[in-house]
Amino acid sequence: MASNDRRILLDFEKPLAELDSQILQIRELAEENGVDYSDQIYQLEARALELRKEIFSNLTPTQRLQVARHPRRPSTLDYIQAISDEWMELHGDRRGFDDPAVVGGVARFNGQPVVMLGQQKGRDTKDNIARNFGMASPGGYRKAIRLMEHADRFGMPILTFIDTPAAWAGIEAEQFGQGEAIAYNLREMFKFEVPIVCTVIGEGGSGGALGIGVGDRVIMLEHSVYSVAPPEACAAILWRDAGKSAQAADALKITAEDLQRLGIIDEILPEPIGAAHADPLQATEILKDALIRTLAELSSMGSQQRKDLRYQKFRSIGVFAEASLTA
Amino acid sequence: MSSLFDWFANRQKKEPEIQAQPERDIADGLWTKCDKCSALTYTKDLKANQMVCLECNHHMRVFSDERLRQILDPDSWQPMNEQLLPLDPLGFRDRKPYSDRVRETQDKTKLTDAVQTGLGKIEGNPVALGVMDFRFMGGSMGSVVGEKLTRLIERATQQRIPVLIVCASGGARMQEGMLSLMQMAKISGALERHREANLLYIPLLTHPTAGGVTASFAMLGDIILAEPKATIAFAGRRVVEQTIREKLPDDFQTAEYLLGRGFIDAIVPRTQLRKTLGQLLRLHQSPPTVPSKLVMHHLPDLKTLSSIEG
């Protein structure tokens, strides 16, 4: 089974894979010889579980980044399709573009009509090229805000899913106003009367992520990351050495725990043991439950109260000293 | 912000140039050499011409104090929130601890952080003004810049006055990590409330305006002005060149280029700036009698209507 499964192994997953294949071998041996090895198998499985727990609860920021970028990690469309009762993708920014790096549409979620949208990374190389590796162009941000405006008009809560290395930095992106497109979203998202929940499901890459990231609640999956700049690039500039990206990843504080401590995000959703790619179904259930609970909380407020709290939430972010004026 | 990287990379080249010619030298030195055409100009004349080269019209870099003098009515400046100081919330250390970098920059520039904010008047019109200063870590935006600008905009909303922000920044400040990125949202939120109150916001984009500043308050003006030849970008030139693996045209990401693409309203030579701002502020000053007259006109109608219904 393991041999024809094209699994992509991260370095720190290798001891686990070895253990898994040992278990498999013993199983096969037991079957061939008709001997009962279930005790040994049970012990090994317990050890594998412990090891998996241990490894995944002690990941360094760089390892987190690897998990967040894992090619098998569930994407925005995977989650949308799995958590919604029904869903129809809608296209285009009405300004001449339909950016495949951003997907969005109308859906029924837990019985309620909502708008869901997010950056979409490719599921394989071909798809990734088509979707520009989830790096949105101005048209993508404009499609997103157009769908959010739609949601606001029809009283549908907005669920955004963040998964992007960065906003696209190509020539057309500059030509068509990447800065303006993101800026516009940042301002307009404060306006909406409907609840907004933003979830970082993989990689939250700087302004490209924030462009759909202003919400009443900002949630992160346990092994996702959110950073002001990609650690590789930060290392190249601040350390003048791209090889120092591990130090940069550490210094930038990109993990969910660090960001909760800094007051940037509201909640961390635990992932299945071995991360979301190890058990996408369970990851989906965890996400769905959290979104149902969060929407219920937000729906119990009036729209003005929600808007005020959304403002206050971002208003209070920042760490500085305020010296006494009388000094 | 990708453009921030670009800027940091460029800063390595530019820093000595800035150090060799700090503002003080320009003020004290008898002659100043244009960085563009190398013409020597009597410094007094150059300052009188707002640091615009008399030979080639090149707009030399102007820092916050000088900018305030150029734009505002004399003695109208009331600084706000000068007591806000940066901290080092991440304990950030690259080749040098962030806290050292901040202290050294403060000593060198006599600034507390990369923006000065306050209230002032332009040709008699009250305005809430923020001026970024590129000398302070490339005008990068961390918690203090975000907080000072947010307080400025909130004050303007409260007092019902326009906001003017002079942008000069490489983008979000990496050394404060995600706290810096979130300042983009925070300031945009404050601008939303200011806008909701039908108040005027004008950003002036000066060289350079990039990254997270471009992707937030720089591009959110009701009217967006820029200085001639200013570089205005989201991702910096080098990042774009590396991404697409080809050279970019010379005028790419200049103020002139953005004007041609419809992203800014006007390029204003520095010598015309004060006059232009005064004109725009006057044009958007709705005389207080007009709205109240409108209300008076409508009130009797409404009363009649309700009395009929009642």
- Tell me the CATH number at B148: 3.90.226.10
Joined tokens for residue B224: 């967006």
Q: Which of A203, A228, A313 to mutate to test the interface with B (most CBs of B within 10 A)?
A: A228
Average pLDDT over residues B279-290: 80
Domain tally for chain A?
Answer: 2
Please list every residue in chain B whose beta carbon sits closer than 8 Å to the beta carbon of residue A257. none
Same domain, B47 and B141: no
Res. B204: pLDDT tops 90: yes
Residue type, A7: R
**Cβ neighbours of residue B233 closer than 8 Å, sequence gap 6 or more:** A174, A179, B3, B208, B209, B210, B211, B214, B240, B253
**CA nearest to A186, candidates B235, B217, B45, B203:** B217
β-bridge mates for residue B216, sequence order: none
Q: Are A87 and A80 in contact, with CB atoms under 8 Å apart?
A: yes
Q: How confident is the model at residue A4 (pLDDT cuts 50, 70, 90)?
A: very low
Omega before A100 within 30 of 0, i.e. cis: no
CA–CA dist B17, B14 (Å, integer): 5
Q: Are B214 and B231 in contact, with CB atoms under 8 Å apart?
A: no
Residue A178 CB-half CA count within 13 A: 32
Instruction: Please name the residue ranges forming H helices in chain B.
Output: 2-20, 23-28, 43-48, 64-71, 98-109, 143-159, 177-196, 211-214, 237-244, 255-260, 270-283, 289-309
Same domain, B68 and B199: yes
| Domain, as residue range, for B43 | 25-60
Q: Compute the radius of gyration of chain B from its Cα atoms.
A: 21
Report percent pLDDT > 70 for chain B.
83
CB within 8 Å of chain A, chain B residues 237-276 = 239-240, 243-244, 248, 252-253, 261, 263
Q: How confident is the model at residue A326 (pLDDT cuts 50, 70, 90)?
A: low
Lowest mean pLDDT among A2-11, A45-54, B125-134, B300-309: B300-309
Average pLDDT over residues A208-219: 98
Instruction: Look at residue A106 in the predicted model and tell me its pLDDT.
Output: 98
The number of C-beta contacts closer than 8 angstroms across A and B is 207
Nearest residue on chain A to B246, judged by CA atoms? A171
Same domain, B44 and B134: no
Last residue of a domain, one of A37, A58, A79: A58
β-bridge mates for residue B169, sequence order: B209
Same domain, B52 and B147: no
CA–CA dist A215, A199 (Å, integer): 9
CB within 8 Å of chain B, chain A residues 260-299 = 262, 264
Same domain, A75 and A50: no
Instruction: Look at residue B15 in the predicted model and tell me its pLDDT.
Output: 44
Residue A70 φ then ψ, to 5°: -55, 130
Instruction: Look at residue B14 in the predicted model and tell me its pLDDT.
Output: 47
Same domain, A100 and A54: no
Classify burial at B196, counting beta carbons within 10 Å of its beta carbon; exposed 0-12, middle 13-18, buried 19 or more: exposed
Report yes or no on B304 lying in a domain.
Answer: no
Report helix, strand or coil for B141: strand
How many C-beta atoms surround the C-beta of residue A292 within 10 A? 15
Instruction: Look at residue B216 in the predicted model and tell me its pLDDT.
Output: 98
Q: Are A211 and A167 in contact, with CB atoms under 8 Å apart?
A: yes
Report helix, strand or coil for B229: coil
Res. B203: pLDDT tops 80: yes
Report yes or no on B15 lying in a domain.
Answer: no
Instruction: Look at residue A325 in the predicted model and tell me its pLDDT.
Output: 61
Q: Does B98 touch chain A (CB under 8 A)?
A: no
Q: What is the mean pLDDT of chain B?
A: 88
Report helix, strand or coil for B11: helix
For the stretch A85-124, what's the b/e string if a residue is b when 16 or more beta carbons lie within 10 angstroms of its beta carbon? eebeeeeebeeebebbbbbbbbbebeeeebbbbbbbbbee
Q: Does B106 touch chain A (CB under 8 A)?
A: no
Report yes or no on B228 lying in a domain.
Answer: yes
- Minimal CA separation from A17 to chain B, in Å: 35
Please list every residue in chain B whose beta carbon sits closer than 8 Å to the beta carbon of residue A179. 214-215, 218-219, 232-234
Joined tokens for residue A20: 């898994």
Please list every residue in chain A whose beta carbon sits closer than 8 Å to the beta carbon of residue B147. 318, 320
Please list every residue in chain B whose beta carbon sits closer than 8 Å to the beta carbon of residue A234. 5, 174
- Minimal CA separation from B38 to chain A, in Å: 31
Q: Does B157 touch chain A (CB under 8 A)?
A: no
Average pLDDT over residues B75-95: 96
Report yes or no on B149 lying in a domain.
Answer: yes
Nearest residue on chain B to A236, judged by CA atoms? B5
Question: Between B93, B172, B191, which is nearest A187 by CB?
Answer: B191
Res. B244: pLDDT tops 70: yes
Report yes or no on B18 lying in a domain.
Answer: no
Nearest residue on chain A to B12, judged by CA atoms? A237
Same domain, B236 and B247: yes
B177–A252 CB contact, under 8 Å: yes
The separation between the first and the last C-alpha atoms of chain A, rounded to the nearest angstrom, is 72
Instruction: Look at residue A31 in the predicted model and tell me its pLDDT.
Output: 87
Report helix, strand or coil for A311: helix
DSSP A152-206: HHTT--EEEEEEES-S--SHHHHHTTHHHHHHHHHHHTTT-SS-EEEEEEEEEEH
Domain tally for chain B?
Answer: 2
Same domain, B40 and B141: no
Q: Does B221 touch chain A (CB under 8 A)?
A: no
Same domain, B51 and B175: no
How does pLDDT run across B159-189, given as a tens digit for each residue? Answer: 999 999 999 999 999 999 999 999 999 999 9
Question: Between B87, B248, B253, which is nearest A321 by CB?
Answer: B87
Same domain, A186 and A114: yes
Res. B307: pLDDT tops 70: no
B85–A264 CB contact, under 8 Å: no
Q: Does A318 touch chain B (CB under 8 A)?
A: yes
Same domain, A38 and A108: no
Report yes or no on A69 lying in a domain.
Answer: yes
Please list every residue in chain B whose beta carbon sits closer than 8 Å to the beta carbon of residue A174. 233-235, 240, 252-253
DSSP label at residue B252? T
How many C-beta atoms surround the C-beta of residue B37 within 10 A? 11
Please list every residue in chain B whose beta carbon sits closer than 8 Å to the beta carbon of residue A236. 5, 9
**Residue B223 vs residue B15, higher pLDDT:** B223
Same domain, A257 and A297: yes
| Domain, as residue range, for A106 | 65-315
Same domain, B38 and B167: no
Report yes or no on A101 lying in a domain.
Answer: yes
Report yes or no on B300 lying in a domain.
Answer: no
Q: Compute the radius of gyration of chain A from its Cα atoms.
A: 22
Res. B43: pLDDT tops 60: yes
**ipTM associated with this complex:** 0.94
Residue type, B167: C
Please list every residue in chain A whose beta carbon sits closer than 8 Å to the beta carbon of residue B260. none
Res. B158: pLDDT tops 50: yes
Q: Does A6 touch chain B (CB under 8 A)?
A: no
Report yes or no on B308 lying in a domain.
Answer: no
**A177 φψ region: left (φ > 0), alpha (ψ -120 to 50), beta (else):** left
Instruction: Look at residue B16 in the predicted model and tell me its pLDDT.
Output: 44
Same domain, A223 and A101: yes
